[in-house]
C-alpha cells in the first residue's frame, strides 16, 4: 500500500471513531434532556395536582358534613363550588398522569368520584338537616384512600424517572470512557503502524547512504515493497550500480595508466644514469647537478606510480603476501641505511635504538620494508633540518595501553601470541592533530598545514601501510611525540613468531 494511502486510511479510521463517539454522546445528552423535560414539565405538575386533589377532597368532605348537619343552603352552595374544584383538578390529573399505574389509579378515582356525586345528588334531594347519611361517609372515606393512592403513585413515577435519568447518565459516562479508551488504543496502534512503515525503510535508506558514503558501491536496497520507498530504493540501486561502474572504470584507468607509465619512466631513469656515468661523453658540473635533479624527480614519480599500482592491487584484493620468518632488526637496519643519505641531505640525523637480541617475526619482508620506508620517509619529509629521528624497536609481552581500541580487536582476533614486537619512529616535525590521527590512514587523506611540503605525495602511503599491517594481524597508529615539544611517533606492532621453516601465503581483503 502507498504511504499516502496508509496515512489517509489510518486517520480516516480515527476520525470515524471520534465521530461515532461524538454522535453517541450527543444522543445521550438529548435523551437525558427529554427525561428532565418530562420530569419538570409533567411529573412534578402531576404531583402538585395530586396534593391539590387531597385539599379539594378535604373541603368537599367538610362542606358535605356541614350541609347535612346544619342544612344551610349557603353551605350547599359552597359544597357545589368545591365539588367543581375537585372535578377540575381530577380532569387535570387525567391529562398529567402518564404512567400506566397512574392511569389505572386515576380512572378508579374518577369512578369513585362519579359514584359519590350520584349518591350526594340523591341525598341532597331528600335533605333532612341534623343527620349525615352513612353511605356518604363511606364514599368520602373511599375517596380519601384513593386520592392518597394517586398521590403515592405520582411520587413513585417521579422516583422512577429520576432513576432512569441517573441510569442513562451512568451508562453514557461508561460508554464515553470506554470509547475514549478504545479511541486511544486504536490511535496508538494506527500511529505505530504508520510510523513503523515509514521509519523502517528510512532506516534502510540511511544505512545504504552511509554505505555509499564509505565507498561501498555494491550496496543494494530491497525494492520489493509496493510503495514510494520501493521507487526510491530502485533509483538508489540504479545510482549505486552506476557509481560502481564508474568506480571500476576509474580503478581500471589508474591501474592501466600507472602500468603504461612505468616502462618509459624506467628507460628515462636508465638514460639519466648512463649520462651521469658519462658513458656518452664527459659532463660539466652544472649539467651533472641538473641530471641529479632529473633523477630525483623521476624516482619520486616512480614511487608515486608504485603506490598507485599497490592501491589498485589492494582495491582489487589481489595483493599477495609471502609470510616467512624474518629478523625485524635486520629489516629496520636495511631501511635506515637506504634512507640515511636522503636524511643527511636535509642535515637530519637518524638514530637507531635497536635491541641486541633478535626480534623474530613472521612477515613478508619486502612489505614490512615498504611500511618502514614509508614511515621513515615521512619522518624525513616532515622533520625540520638539523633535527633527529629516532627509530626504536623492542619486544613487549602485552599490547600497549596507548594502542587504539579499533586495532586491539583485530590483533587479539585469533588468540594469544608469544608477545609483540614494537617499532617506533619519532620525529620533531609538525605532528598530526588529534582529529586526523585516524584519518591519515585513509586513502588520499592529508593534513593541510600551510603550503604542501616538498615530496608530499597524494596521501596513499599510510593507507597502503595500514592494509599491509592488517594482513599481518599487526597494527599501525600515531601518537604525539611527548619527549619532544612537537612531532609525532608512528608505531608498528607485529606478533612475535616462532622461527618455523616454510612460507605462508596470504592475501589482504579488498579495500
Ligand atoms: P603522503 O605523504 O604521500 O601525503 P601518506 O599517506 O604517507 O601520504 O601521509 C598522509 C598524510 O599524513 C601526510 O600528507 C601528512 O599530512 C601526514 N603525515 C604523515 N606522516 C607524518 C609525519 N611524520 N609528521 C606529520 N604529518 C605526517
Q: Using alpha carbons, select from 207, 104, 208, 92 the residue that is nearest to residue 150.
A: 104
- Among 33-42, 65-74, 171-180, 334-343, the least confident range: 33-42
Please count the structural domains in the chain. Answer: 2
3-state secondary structure of 392: strand
Is residue 370 pLDDT above 70, yes or no?
Answer: yes
- Ligand 1 mean position, distance from CA 210 (Å): 26
Is the CB of residue 376 below 6 angstroms from any atom belonging to ligand 1?
no
- CB of 427 sitting under 6 A from ligand 1: yes
Establish if 295 belongs to a structural domain. no
State whether the beta carbon of 133 lies less than 6 angstroms from ligand 1.
no
pLDDT the model gives residue 378: 94
Q: For residues 485 and 487, give the distance between their C-alpha atoms in angstroms, rounded to a whole number.
A: 7
Mean pLDDT of 152-156: 90
User: Can you tell me the mean pLDDT for 296-315?
Assistant: 84
Question: What letter would DSSP give residue 41?
Answer: I
Domain termination site, one of 162, 185, 208: 185
CA-nearest residue for atom 9, ligand 1, is 459
Asked, for residue 234, whether it belongs to a domain, the answer is no
Q: Is the CB of 440 under 6 A from ligand 1?
A: yes
Out of 126, 160, 185, pick the residue that ends a domain: 185
Element (H, E) at 166: helix 134-213
Q: Is 353 exposed, middle or buried (0-12, 13-18, 19+ CB in 10 A)?
A: exposed
How many other C-beta atoms can be found within 10 angstroms of the C-beta atom of residue 129?
10
Instruction: For residue 236, give the nearest of 225, 248, 223 by alpha carbon.
Output: 223
Burial class (CB in 10 A: 0-12, 13-18, 19+), 116: buried
User: Can you count the helices (H) and strands (E) in the chain?
Assistant: 11, 8
- pLDDT band per the 50, 70, 90 thresholds, residue 151: very high
Residue 174 lies in a domain: yes
**135 vs 510 pLDDT, higher one:** 135
CA of 457 to the centre of ligand 1 (A): 8
pLDDT value of position 435? 92
Give the per-residue pLDDT at 128.
81
Tens digits of residue pLDDT in 111-127:
999 999 999 999 988 88
Residue closest via CA to ligand 1's atom 3 equals: 457
Average pLDDT of the segment spanning 391-414: 87
Residue 313 lies in a domain: no
Considering only residues 267 and 455, tell me which one the structure prediction assigns the higher pLDDT. 267
How far, CA to CA in Å, does 476 sit from each of 239, 361, 375, 493?
A: 35, 16, 10, 6
In a domain, 122, yes or no: yes
Residues 6 or more apart in contact with residue 293 via CB below 8 angstroms: none
Whether residue 501 has pLDDT greater than 70: no
In angstroms, the CA 165 to CA 170 distance is 9
Ligand 1 atom nearest to CA at 374: 7
Place of cell 647537478: 289
- What cell numbers appear for 308 in the block? 598507485
- Taking only the tens place, the pLDDT of each residue in 76-102 is 999 999 999 999 999 998 888 778 898
**End-to-end alpha-carbon separation of the chain, Å?**
40
| Of 4, 11, 10, 13, residue with least CA distance to 226 | 4
In a domain, 218, yes or no: no
Within 8 A by CB and 6+ apart from 233, the residues are 201, 204, 205, 221, 222, 223, 225
User: Which comes out higher in pLDDT, residue 368 or 450?
Assistant: 368
* pLDDT reported for residue 391: 97
Q: Stretch 62-68: mean pLDDT, rounded?
A: 92
Name residues whose C-beta falls within 8 Å of residue 403's C-beta, 6 or more positions apart in sequence: 411, 475, 477, 491, 493
Q: Name the nearest CA neighbour of 52 among 89, 105, 84.
A: 89
Is residue 132 in a domain? yes
CATH number of the domain encompassing residue 59: 1.20.120.1730
- Asked if 370 and 438 count as a contact pair (C-beta separation under 8 A), the reply is no
Residue 300 lies in a domain: no
The pLDDT of residue 510 is above 60: no
Question: What CATH code is carried by the domain that includes residue 446?
Answer: 3.30.565.10
- Say how far apart CA 501 and CA 496 lie, in whole Å: 15
Residue 155: burial class (beta carbons within 10 Å; 0-12, 13-18, 19+): middle
Residue 413 has pLDDT above 70, yes or no: no
Whether 429 is in the pocket of ligand 1, judged by its Cβ within 6 Å, is: yes
Which pLDDT belongs to residue 450? 66
Task: Give the end of a domain, one of 153, 185, 217.
Answer: 185
Ligand 1 center from residue 384 Cα (angstroms): 15
Mean local confidence (pLDDT), 14-41:
80
Full domain range(s) for residue 101: 3-185
Amino acid at each position: 500500500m502507498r504511504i499516502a494511502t496508509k496515512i489517509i486510511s489510518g486517520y480516516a479510521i480515527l476520525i470515524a471513531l471520534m465521530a461515532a463517539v461524538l454522535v453517541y454522546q450527543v444522543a445521550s445528552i438529548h435523551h437525558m434532556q427529554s427525561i428532565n423535560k418530562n420530569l419538570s414539565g409533567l411529573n412534578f405538575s402531576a404531583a402538585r395536582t395530586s396534593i391539590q386533589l387531597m385539599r379539594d377532597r378535604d373541603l368537599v368532605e367538610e362542606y358535605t358534613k356541614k350541609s347535612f348537619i346544619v342544612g344551610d343552603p349557603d353551605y350547599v352552595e359552597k359544597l357545589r363550588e368545591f365539588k367543581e374544584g375537585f372535578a377540575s383538578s381530577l380532569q387535570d390529573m387525567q391529562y398529567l398522569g402518564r404512567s400506566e399505574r397512574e392511569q389505572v389509579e386515576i380512572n378508579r378515582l374518577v369512578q369513585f368520584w362519579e359514584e359519590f356525586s350520584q349518591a350526594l345528588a340523591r341525598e341532597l334531594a331528600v335533605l333532612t338537616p341534623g343527620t349525615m347519611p352513612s353511605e356518604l361517609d363511606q364514599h368520602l372515606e373511599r375517596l380519601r384512600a384513593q386520592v392518597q393512592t394517586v398521590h403515592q403513585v405520582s411520587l413513585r413515577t417521579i422516583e422512577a424517572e429520576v432513576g432512569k435519568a441517573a441510569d442513562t447518565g451512568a451508562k453514557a459516562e461508561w460508554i464515553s470512557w470506554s470509547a475514549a479508551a478504545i479511541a486511544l488504543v486504536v490511535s496508538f496502534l494506527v500511529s505505530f503502524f504508520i510510523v513503523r512503515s515509514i521509519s523502517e525503510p528510512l532506516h534502510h535508506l540511511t544505512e545504504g547512504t552511509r554505505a555509499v558514503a564509505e565507498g561501498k558501491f555494491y550496496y543494494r536496497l530491497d525494492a520489493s515493497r509496493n510503495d514510494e520507498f520501493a521507487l526510491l530504493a530502485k533509483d538508489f540501486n540504479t545510482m549505486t550500480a552506476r557509481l560502481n561502474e564508474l568506480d571500476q572504470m576509474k580503478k581500471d584507468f589508474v591501474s592501466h595508466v600507472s602500468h603504461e607509465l612505468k616502462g618509459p619512466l624506467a628507460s628515462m631513469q636508465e638514460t639519466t644514469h648512463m649520462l651521469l656515468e658519462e658513458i656518452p661523453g664527459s659532463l660539466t658540473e652544472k649539467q651533472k647537478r641538473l641530471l641529479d635533479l632529473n633523477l630525483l624527480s623521476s624516482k619520486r614519480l616512480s614511487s608515486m606510480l608504485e603506490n598507485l599500482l599497490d592501491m589498485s592491487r589492494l582495491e582489487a584484493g589481489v595483493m599477495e603476501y609471502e609470510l616467512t620468518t624474518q629478523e625485524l632488526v635486520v629489516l629496520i637496519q636495511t631501511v635506515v641505511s637506504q634512507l640515511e643519505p636522503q636524511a643527511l641531505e636535509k642535515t637530519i640525523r637518524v638514530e637507531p635504538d635497536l635491541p641486541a637480541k633478535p626480534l623474530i617475526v613472521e612477515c613478508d619482508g619486502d612489505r614490512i620494508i615498504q611500511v618502514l620506508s614509508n614511515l621513515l620517509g615521512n619522518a624525513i619529509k616532515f622533520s625540520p633540518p638539523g633535527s633527529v629521528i629516532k627509530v626504536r624497536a623492542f619486544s613487549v609481552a602485552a599490547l600497549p595501553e596507548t594502542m587504539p581500541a579499533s586495532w586491539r580487536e583485530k590483533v587479539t582476533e585469533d588468540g594469544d601470541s608469544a608477545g609483540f614486537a614494537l617499532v617506533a619512529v619519532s620525529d620533531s616535525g609538525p605532528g598530526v592533530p588529534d582529529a586526523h590521527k585516524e584519518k591519515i590512514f585513509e586513502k588520499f587523506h592529508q593534513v593541510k598545514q600551510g603550503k604542501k611540503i616538498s615530496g608530499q605525495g597524494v596521501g596513499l602511503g599510510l593507507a597502503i601501510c595500514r592494509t599491509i599491517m592488517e594482513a599481518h594481524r599487526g597494527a599501525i597508529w600515531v601518537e604525539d611525540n611527548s619527549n619532544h615539544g612537537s612531532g609525532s611517533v608512528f608505531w608498528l606492532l607485529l606478533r612475535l613468531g616462532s622461527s618455523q621453516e616454510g612460507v605462508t601465503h596470504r592475501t589482504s581483503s579488498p579495500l
